[in-house]
Structure 1
């Protein structure tokens, strides 16, 4: 029997490592680290702006320790993040919490659904802040893992991130009406974030309609901005390992990654093999995560549902899948996501066809928040269309129900007819996907007993 007190041998230094071994470990390192480097590079890009505003005039952005807010739905022509929704008003705050704790303001949202999703470096959420948690209006403090300062009077709660790298994305529900667009302004203008040194117990307000347009990164080819270049991944990984402590059990992974990084620093052929491994993994593994069948688990009727979202832990498969296809999920009890690239017969969804999604009477997604069905193009972005319509659900007040109380939503490049156009999601001519969000789902959403309806192709 082995002596339990005997130290476990660590990776030996000075070994003559051959490139093929380094390449094998590098593949795992790339899959493991892809979401974290993605998160890190987003913080760098989104926080380079001089003041809170709208990146490229479209997405919220702010310097570190600040928040930027939109004042309406996100515009359809952005390519910085996939799978946005047009159900909420978004915000974004890049955080470096060991540099400075951050105060966040929570206004009185009344009956309106809202949630502040606050993520660590692994895109795990570490705070419960939102309507479903009963969070009271007030001031809250976000701190890093090593912060030891004093909490001033008037702070209602403190949330400690396990990593200094973090970010916050407020989401506030908005009905698709002019009246609600005006009503929401008084609330979102009180959403704010700033360094603890600026806290004085008074509510700081910003009219986000006047926030400036700011220059930001662009994408080529219609897809998402490339946040994780394989060619530079291993140049960034050492810094990631230094600022993101291992989860319990990950110490051995970190040791292996540091071993090949040390070898790469001394031997160009090792470094070249590792870069080659990253390039191959990007093409052969990461790209496959863009297919919804490689996200989560089956939900019935040809759909998949998110799994462990924003609570990834060591679920590297789903963490990397989410980062590639749908960065910054909410936690399961906050939001459940259902998605498909195929119709009920397993054929790819294509704009040349016409599709129906029928929710029987009383069987729309059971939620205490809201639900929606969104249509995305092949890049998981909105398809610009003359109706300016990209999702349908709780926010829409003109949906037409069938005589039996059921609700049929239509998808396709061609209109289903004037009498059904209120329920139509216009699609591109080519491939598209469908995506159901269920915010603050009831038990049937959480336990999987509710299933999305079939996507039926007509004709």
Structure 2
């Protein structure tokens, strides 16, 4: 074959391949809208609106726990006068204890338990570490959770993890380089403020005076005053958060305020950088350059954000026999919707080894639990736990305990007169009116309207953690 013929064939082959490639690109362009979308004013405006929505939604889900914790820090350090016995509020850097179990009148904490006396302390570590002293509780269940300002549960102090002997625990802020006294356990945290959230077990009907004396043996002092038994915390108050009034974008202003005293975690810096596109940066929230469609999109994001958080019950939870619960409350990772949900209506929730919180709002047919109906909950046996268990009913509307004529707000390990069959099984009538029949003593009062329940399992055994224990079914009574 002549050289000219070879060149001609090669040129033809190259042209054929180029045409095929061009046709392939054209065909792919038919399925790639970005390659063909005009850069028109309409498309740009629509894109800015969509971008504001998606970044604004991400900012809400990511930042809600920080805003919530800053709000709680101020709420729980604002002590009413007179202070109710069920309140655990205390000034900054001081321990507050509830001295009575929660009742329907206790409005500070949604889904409060009726099993333990709550402890709360908002601690400012900006100057130095604080040392928490815990007394010997003689095997009585207690736990003090150390939360950072992102609602991350950094440490447990209590029966399961550190035992019930007396001990001293230093809560150390980031960057502190000092030396701690001998015998003090160091607990490092990632923010300059923390929230201590504790629980002390109360057995039904026991005298409260000895428990109050035990509470008084828990102390919180700055490192420089650790050995000063006469130390009294000076009055301290956190700066007010921005008053957003009726500003529909007020959440972002409060988030920007909270970020001034809480650094963006290193693993979140790339995510946070995206929020600059709608005006949220380390310098604050500047909405002066937003278009009206962008503003509308951000308002819509704030409306949809709570729904995304609530969806974590499905996306991050486990459902068994009609009950739903989530694991990993002490290690959220990147599951920001779950962290936001817990920071909201389930503030202070703990990891599953400390406690499990199966939640139920429907009967065996999948219908919403309603006070106009009657139900029976059948336990094959009591939940296997190393501490104790309880079943508590809450109003669906306000997530508070249910007022009732016998003042029974939960049923559990220490319920006096609980009727149990010889094989360990028992039934619980669940209704708004007093029942009759064999198991009337086991009545758990329900409200007149929609409600839900939480089955608390403190220090659950492996049978629960592995799923081998059958959670009780809720059957409607015909």
Indicate the TM-score class for this superposition, using the shorter chain for normalisation: 0.7 to 0.9
Structure 2 residue aligned with 1:125 = 153
CA contact 2:312–2:338 (8 Å) conserved in 1:
no
2:278 matches 1:260 = yes
Structure 1 residue aligned with 2:9 = none
Structure 2 residue aligned with 1:299 = 319
Q: Please state whether the residue corresponding to 2:160 is helix, strand or coil.
A: helix
Structure 1 residue aligned with 2:220 = 193
**Which residue of the other structure, out of 160, 167, 177, is the alignment partner of 2:188?**
160
Deviation at residue 271 of structure 1 after TM alignment: 7.9
Deviation at residue 282 of structure 1 after TM alignment: 4.4
Structure 2 residue aligned with 1:24 = 54
CA distance in 1, matches of 2:308, 2:434: 32
Structure 2 residue aligned with 1:426 = 445
Q: Please state whether the residue corresponding to 2:378 is helix, strand or coil.
A: strand
Change (3 A) 1:404 1:161: same
- After superposition, give the CA deviation of every residue in 1:15-34 in whole Å (9 maximum; x if it has no partner): 99944422321111011111
Structure 1 residue aligned with 2:253 = 235
1:195-344 map, 5 Å:
195-200=222-227, 202=229, 231-261=249-279, 267-268=287-288, 270=290, 276-277=296-297, 279-287=299-307, 289=309, 293-294=313-314, 296-344=316-364
CA distance in 2, matches of 1:347, 1:199: 56
Deviation at residue 292 of structure 1 after TM alignment: 9.0
Deviation at residue 417 of structure 1 after TM alignment: 2.0
**Which residue of the other structure, out of 131, 135, 146, is the alignment partner of 2:175?**
146
CA distance in 2, matches of 1:292, 1:254: 21
- After superposition, give the CA deviation of every residue in 1:143-175 in whole Å (9 maximum; x if it has no partner): 21122233134x521111111231011101110
Structure 1 residue aligned with 2:377 = 357
**Which residue of the other structure, out of 198, 212, 225, is the alignment partner of 1:170?**
198
2:115 matches 1:87 = yes
- After superposition, give the CA deviation of every residue in 1:340-376 in whole Å (9 maximum; x if it has no partner): 110111010001111111111xx32211011110000
Moved more, 251-260 or 195-204: 195-204
Q: Please state whether the residue corresponding to 1:250 is helix, strand or coil.
A: helix
CA distance in 2, matches of 1:177, 1:229: 49
CA contact 1:27–1:277 (8 Å) conserved in 2:
no
Deviation at residue 115 of structure 1 after TM alignment: 0.7
Structure 2 residue aligned with 1:395 = 414
- After superposition, give the CA deviation of every residue in 1:304-333 in whole Å (9 maximum; x if it has no partner): 012211321211121122223311101221
Structure 1 residue aligned with 2:426 = 407
- TM-score, normalised to structure 1, is 0.82
- TM-score, normalised to structure 2, is 0.79
Structure 2 residue aligned with 1:220 = none
2:453 matches 1:453 = no
Structure 2 residue aligned with 1:218 = none
- After superposition, give the CA deviation of every residue in 1:212-254 in whole Å (9 maximum; x if it has no partner): xxxxxxxxxxxxxx9x996421112223334434445322111
CA distance in 2, matches of 1:229, 1:103: 40
Q: Please state whether the residue corresponding to 1:325 is helix, strand or coil.
A: coil
CA contact 2:130–2:220 (8 Å) conserved in 1:
yes
Q: Please state whether the residue corresponding to 1:79 is helix, strand or coil.
A: coil
Instruction: State the superposition RMSD in angstroms.
Output: 3.1
Q: Please state whether the residue corresponding to 2:342 is helix, strand or coil.
A: helix
Deviation at residue 278 of structure 1 after TM alignment: 5.1
Structure 2 residue aligned with 1:219 = none
Change (3 A) 1:382 1:276: farther
CA contact 1:190–1:203 (8 Å) conserved in 2:
no
CA distance in 2, matches of 1:275, 1:334: 43
Change (3 A) 1:265 1:204: closer
Q: Please state whether the residue corresponding to 2:358 is helix, strand or coil.
A: strand
Moved more, 33-42 or 447-456: 447-456
Q: Which runs of 5+ in 1 are unaligned?
A: 1-14, 206-225
Structure 2 residue aligned with 1:12 = none
CA distance in 1, matches of 2:436, 2:97: 37
CA distance in 2, matches of 1:394, 1:138: 28
Structure 2 residue aligned with 1:183 = 210
CA contact 1:49–1:61 (8 Å) conserved in 2:
yes
Deviation at residue 455 of structure 1 after TM alignment: 0.9
CA distance in 2, matches of 1:370, 1:272: 55
CA distance in 2, matches of 1:195, 1:273: 50
**Which residue of the other structure, out of 88, 105, 110, is the alignment partner of 1:60?**
88
CA contact 1:295–1:305 (8 Å) conserved in 2:
no
Structure 2 residue aligned with 1:47 = 77
Structure 1 residue aligned with 2:41 = none
Structure of larger gyration radius = 2
